[in-house]
Structure 1
Amino acid sequence: MRIREFAPQDWAQVWPIISDVVRAEETFVYDPALTADEAYDLWVDVPPGRTAVAVDGERVLGTAKMGPNRPGPGSHVSTASFMVAADARGRGVGTALCRDALDWARRQGYAGMQFNAVVESNRAAVEVYLREGFTVVGTVPGAFRHPTLGRVGLHVMYCEF
């Protein structure tokens, strides 16, 4: 597996990953009625941001987007989001994408990386982020409506460089 920059021809494989994750309503705060065009505009970042894919040969296993967390006085802190194909989970794809995003942010001179809304029941992602140096700086109780668990918290997580 390798991580590389997103190319427009990747969209045919990236969109099904995004669609599946969003429609499951378990880990992202995106509208489940999100269209492919809306998702493209939301996910594919332009500089100073970046979109990447994890590939095995020609197959896209996962994707990441990263960039400044906020504009202006908050632009020294980065953020990132990750999605992995259902059949590629548990194989280190999310970890590789997270490490790639952290490396990218450090090279760009960011002071740290902040995740604004990590669903606390997404244990696999939370464990990856903790292993990679993030801490939970706060949790908004009941801020996410999970389809089977009901209202669960959203973590704000931060990794200082």
Structure 2
Amino acid sequence: MIIRTATDADWPSIWAIIEPIMREGETFSLPRDGDEATARAYFASPEKVNFVAEDDGEILGASYVRANQQGGGSHIANCGYMTAPAARGRGVARLLCAHSIDYCRTQGFKGIQFNFVVSTNKPAVHLWQSHGFEIVGTLPGAFLHPVHGYVDSYVMFRAL
């Protein structure tokens, strides 16, 4: 599996990953009935650099990196990751996270902050912690989960 910079030609494959995740509504704060334009504005907006995880020509996951804030906060990155439902459990998110840590270092970022990690997304919380991220804040009842109702969301951070 390789990680490479995404191109415009990759968007249909990225959308194919994002759409079922949006419809599930369990891990990202995107509208469950959102359309492709909404997804693209969120995941591939101009301030973000996108990457894809590719295996034998098939895109299995995607990520973005951006400055978390402007000005005095621009030295902290923010990243997001999505894995194709059929590719879950194959190490795609682990590889994308490791790549983003290395990429952020080369770009001069001093840390990475995840602004909104849904607490019921236990595999992601565990994975991010295994990469050195810590829960630095809890937003009580910040996410309306379609199964569990209002659940907490975490702010997670890792210095670089």
TM bin, normalised by shorter chain, reads over 0.9
| Matched position secondary structure for 1:53 | strand
- For structure 1, the residue ranges without an aligned partner over 5 or more in a row are none
- When normalised by structure 1's length, the TM-score is 0.95
**2:26 matched to which residue of 1?**
26
| Matched position secondary structure for 1:130 | helix
Structure 1 residues 73-88: aligned runs within 5 Å? 73-88=72-87
Deviations 1:15-37 (CA, angstroms, capped at 9, x unpaired): 01111111101000112222212
Question: How far off its partner does 1:73 sit?
Answer: 1.1
Residue pair 1:45, 1:51 contacting (<8 A) in 2 also? no
Question: How far off its partner does 1:45 sit?
Answer: 4.3
Residue pair 1:45, 1:66 contacting (<8 A) in 2 also? no
Deviations 1:69-92 (CA, angstroms, capped at 9, x unpaired): 011111010010000001100110
**1:156 matched to which residue of 2?**
155
How many residues align structurally? 160
Q: Distance in 1 between matches of 2:61 and 2:7?
A: 13
Deviations 1:86-144 (CA, angstroms, capped at 9, x unpaired): 11001100000001111111110111000000001101111110000100001111111
User: 4+ residue stretches of structure 1 with deviation over 3 A?
Assistant: none
- When normalised by structure 2's length, the TM-score is 0.96
Q: Distance in 1 between matches of 2:95 and 2:64?
A: 13
- For structure 2, the residue ranges without an aligned partner over 5 or more in a row are none
**2:51 matched to which residue of 1?**
52
Q: Distance in 1 between matches of 2:67 and 2:33?
A: 26
Structure 1 residues 66-105: aligned runs within 5 Å? 66-105=65-104
Residue pair 1:45, 1:65 contacting (<8 A) in 2 also? no
Q: Give the alignment's Cα RMSD to 1 decimal.
A: 1.1
Deviations 1:35-70 (CA, angstroms, capped at 9, x unpaired): 2122222212446x3100001111110000111001
Q: Distance in 2 between matches of 1:60 and 1:119?
A: 25
**2:40 matched to which residue of 1?**
40
Question: How far off its partner does 1:151 sit?
Answer: 1.1
